[in-house]
Amino acid sequence: MHNISQRKRTLLKVIVLGDSGVGKTSLINQYVDKKFSQQYKATIGADFVTKEIQVDDKLVTLQIWDTAGQERFHSLGAAFYRGADCCVLVYDINIQKTFDTLNNWHDEFLKQADTNDPEAFPFVLIGNKVDVDGGNSRRVTEKKARNWCASRGNIPYYETSAKEGYNVEEAFFCVAKIAQENEHVQDIFFGGISESVSEAEQQQQPSRCAC
Amino acid sequence: MMMKKKKQVPEWLNSSLWYSSSDHHRFDPPEPPSPLPPPVSVSEDPPTIPTNHDASPSSSISSAPSAADDTSRHGHAHTQLLVELSRKVIDMRELRRVASQGLSDAAAQALRPTLWKLLLGCLPPDRALWSSELAKKRSQYKHFKDDLLINPSEIIRRMHNSTSHDIDDAKFQSRTLLARSQITHGDHPLSLRKTSIWNQFFRDTEIIEQIDRDVKRTHPDMHFFSGDSQFAKSNQEAFKNILIIFAKLNPGIRYVQGMNEVLAPLFYVFRNDPDEENAAFAEADTFFCFVELLSGFQDNFCKQLDNSLVGIRSTITRLSQLLKEHDEELWRHLEITTKVNPQFYAFRWITLLLTREFDFSDILHIWDTLLSDPEGPKETLLRVCCAMLILVRRRLLAGDFTSNLKLLQSYPSTNISHLLHVANKLHVQSV
């Protein structure tokens, strides 16, 4: 029989949003599985992964929701957004439009997530695909992105390459960190067959959030 | 609160029917997709299911085969299907009944294209009308292509050269490209004003780019759809054409991510028709079958209907009710105890007609059943989804939110004949 135990853990719910094709699934898979593939299918609805990490001597479970990028799926967001501790916005630094839509994603999230204090809700912005064309096809400057972040209440900003694994760990560590400040402890029941626990990786993390 | 280990199982769920020899499948990890599944339906080991045939044939038109004599029935069904398909005027009721019993490997490639066209109403029951009907549809499709499609490089070229617009066909103007006469100096291409004529143009371009991105991401593990071969490239081209034409003819829905996945089984089956002429016209035939299929499911794709009685949310609620009706304990554990909102897994199951959840050959097998149900594919789809939950009930009842959602988001490979049998059993149960 399964050995069933009950423990209290810190569960951090993270929602990843952004236009179709900016690399949300790739970023998450690079972060969780250390893998990159050119072959991801489009995300439909929302996919769900977990990862355990250590933040300040505390074991936290990140529950990461990978969402569909197409606008059609916005109205279905509320069910996924509820109870989120952090929202990660992703755009492609090589495509201006994916940056322009950040305001929509930001506002739509706050509207649907129904958070207690929208002003203080933690976001992280990721500008992905810095590897493309050696940076020569960049359309959004880092300065412009940082200005946007400043105008939205000092959102931490990371530029990443999901393909090369560049800065991905750092970005998500920051996510965990600021999500934890917004922490909320939930009861999680671990049944004997819950694989999620054994999948936990406790690797060396960057010591602090460079936000 | 401790999780209950010992649970009351409804009497009928304890039937050995649910735990046949396919039982072991349910504890296998999901297998990675095979590099290139064969173009025919799989042949399963005949599960040793007890002869608990309480489903009398008369209780349902679509009574499924008892999986016990699957193999022998397949041979028989093949002959029956051939007989039905050879009639001068097809008896659709009889055809549906025979087809719902499943297609054998041998029958699949040769008979499935015609069968699906009949089931979807793209071929009339009267054989004498087939060739004229096909010719009419194929010619109509050619007109759609001529009127609605401009190849992508042309679009890019035009984007950079606003003076070259010369599409004046008033009939399609509102939903396709812009008439040159409407572009004024104030209507600069970079203007993002909602009133900008260019805005509509960019919206089209946006949709086309989205289609392009998703077509490239359709079954990346299959050479038929993906890769650099000429064959794969021409198939992708056909995909794009169909989806763009559909989007332009249906401005209320346009293109929704996932339509490419619904399109894939149809195109694959028609493109692999041994009849060379049919295979050559696979794109046109697929388009009309796709329209027919989506006419039953389009509400799921329509954002405006999400909160209506016919939209995706209410469809998911009906699945939830179906589960509650047949297995309240499982329903309670999933939705109340572990708080797994059915939208988290069933949204994809339902909108994509299960095309993401199984191997390709299994999908074709499931679709034979979906398409042959006389009530239409919608109800069958919900029963198959419900059966999917019931088949993994032991794991779900032992699982927490995380493990349950992960299990349902990557459903383990399973014996499809058995799954369909259980789904049909639910039908009989509620009759």
Q: Does A195 contact B347 at a Cβ distance shorter than 8 Å?
A: no
Please indicate, yes or no, if residue A113 is contained in any of the structural domains: yes
Q: Which of A46, A68, A70 sits opposite B344 (nearest CB)?
A: A46
Please indicate, yes or no, if residue B2 is contained in any of the structural domains: no
Structure tokens at B185: 């100096």
Structure tokens at B327: 């297995």
Provide DSSP, B245-307: HHHHH-TTT---TTHHHHHHHHHHHHHT-SSHHHHHTHHHHHHHHHHHHHHHHHHHH-GGGTT
Please indicate, yes or no, if residue B33 is contained in any of the structural domains: no
Name the minimum distance, in Å, from the CA of A63 to any CA of chain B: 9
What residue has token string 């339902």?
Answer: B350
Q: Does B344 contact A73 at a Cβ distance shorter than 8 Å?
A: no
Q: Which of A42, A79, A188 sits opposite B214 (nearest CB)?
A: A42
Please indicate, yes or no, if residue A103 is contained in any of the structural domains: yes
pLDDT at B297: 80
pLDDT at B191: 53
Q: B131 and B231 in contact (C-beta within 8 Å)?
A: no
Please indicate, yes or no, if residue B21 is contained in any of the structural domains: no
Name the minimum distance, in Å, from the CA of A195 to any CA of chain B: 7
Q: Are residues B274 and B324 in the same domain?
A: no
Mean pLDDT of chain A: 85
- pLDDT beyond 70 at B34: no
Q: Are residues B411 and B313 in the same domain?
A: yes
Which region among B114-128, B256-270, B373-387 has the lowest average model confidence (pLDDT)? B373-387
Q: Which helix (H) or strand (E) holds A51?
A: strand A46-55
Q: Does B5 contact A2 at a Cβ distance shorter than 8 Å?
A: yes
Q: Which of B217, B258, B347 sits opposite A76 (nearest CB)?
A: B347
Closest CA to B328 of B318, B336, B340: B336
Q: Are residues B274 and B316 in the same domain?
A: no
Confidence of residue A77 (pLDDT cuts 50, 70, 90): confident
Contacts of A72 in chain B (CB under 8 A): 256-257, 301, 303
Q: Which residues of B touch A (CB under 8 A)?
A: 1-3, 5, 210, 213-214, 217-221, 226, 256-258, 260-261, 301, 303, 306-307, 312-313, 338, 341, 343-344, 347-348, 351-352, 356, 395, 398-403, 405-406, 409
pLDDT at B37: 37
- Last residue within a domain, chosen from B245, B276, B295: B295
- In terms of pTM, does the model score above 0.95? no
Please indicate, yes or no, if residue A66 is contained in any of the structural domains: yes
Please indicate, yes or no, if residue A199 is contained in any of the structural domains: no
Q: Which residue has the higher pLDDT, B295 or B396?
A: B396
Confidence of residue A19 (pLDDT cuts 50, 70, 90): very high
Q: Are residues B350 and B427 in the same domain?
A: yes
What CATH code is carried by the domain that includes residue B383? Answer: 1.10.472.80
Pairwise CA distance, residues B160 & B178, whole Å: 14
Count structural domains, chain B: 3
Q: Report the b/e string of B246-257 with b at 16+ CB within 10 A.
A: bbbbbeebbbbb
What CATH code is carried by the domain that includes residue A34? Answer: 3.40.50.300
Please indicate, yes or no, if residue A204 is contained in any of the structural domains: no
Q: Which of B214, B352, B398 sits opposite A191 (nearest CB)?
A: B398
Which region among B53-57, B195-199, B314-318, B404-408 has the lowest average model confidence (pLDDT)? B53-57
Pairwise CA distance, residues B71 & B104, whole Å: 8
Q: Does B403 contact A48 at a Cβ distance shorter than 8 Å?
A: no
Q: Which domain holds residue B102?
A: 65-119
Q: Are residues B315 and B345 in the same domain?
A: yes
**What are the tens digits of pLDDT across the range A94-104?**
999 999 999 99
Which residues on adjacent β-strands are paired with residue A126? A90, A158
Most confidently predicted of B19-28, B184-193, B406-415: B406-415
Q: Are residues B188 and B318 in the same domain?
A: no
Q: Are residues B86 and B234 in the same domain?
A: no
Q: Are residues B190 and B318 in the same domain?
A: no
Please indicate, yes or no, if residue B280 is contained in any of the structural domains: yes
CA distances from A70 to A11, A151, B307, B374, B397 (A): 28, 25, 18, 34, 34
Q: Are residues B312 and B366 in the same domain?
A: yes
Name the minimum distance, in Å, from the CA of A21 to any CA of chain B: 8
Q: A171 and A178 in contact (C-beta within 8 Å)?
A: no
What residue has token string 């939830």?
Answer: B320
Q: Which domain holds residue A34?
A: 11-184
Contacts of B395 in chain A (CB under 8 A): 193
Dihedral sign, Cα of residue A165, residue A166, residue A169, residue A172: negative
Q: Which of A38, A79, A189 sits opposite B3 (nearest CB)?
A: A189
Q: B32 and B352 in contact (C-beta within 8 Å)?
A: no
Probe site for chain A from B255, B402, B409 (most A CB atoms < 10 A):
B402
Contacts of B226 in chain A (CB under 8 A): 39
Q: Are residues B136 and B283 in the same domain?
A: yes
Q: Are residues B303 and B361 in the same domain?
A: yes
- Last residue within a domain, chosen from B266, B295, B324: B295
**What are the tens digits of pLDDT across the range A127-140?**
999 999 999 999 99
What residue has token string 């993002």?
Answer: B192
- pLDDT beyond 50 at B210: yes
Most confidently predicted of B59-68, B156-165, B170-179: B156-165
Please indicate, yes or no, if residue A190 is contained in any of the structural domains: no
Q: Are residues B284 and B360 in the same domain?
A: no
pLDDT at B199: 61
Q: A with B: how many residue pairs have Cβ under 8 Å apart?
A: 105
- pLDDT beyond 90 at A193: no
Q: What is the mean pLDDT of residues B104-126?
A: 90
Count structural domains, chain A: 1
Q: Does B344 contact A75 at a Cβ distance shorter than 8 Å?
A: no
Probe site for chain B from A9, A75, A95 (most B CB atoms < 10 A):
A75
Q: B262 and B293 in contact (C-beta within 8 Å)?
A: yes
- pLDDT beyond 70 at A3: no
Q: Does A48 contact B406 at a Cβ distance shorter than 8 Å?
A: yes
- pLDDT beyond 80 at A93: yes
Contacts of A69 in chain B (CB under 8 A): 257
**What are the tens digits of pLDDT across the range B50-95?**
333 333 333 333 334 444 445 555 667 778 888 999 999 999 999 9
* ipTM for the predicted complex: 0.84
CB distance from A189 to chain B under 8 Å? yes
Please indicate, yes or no, if residue A201 is contained in any of the structural domains: no
Q: Does B398 contact A79 at a Cβ distance shorter than 8 Å?
A: no
Q: What is the mean pLDDT of residues B237-258?
A: 93
What residue has token string 């080991």?
Answer: B45
Please indicate, yes or no, if residue B43 is contained in any of the structural domains: no
Please indicate, yes or no, if residue A94 is contained in any of the structural domains: yes
Q: Which residue has the higher pLDDT, B429 or B180?
A: B429
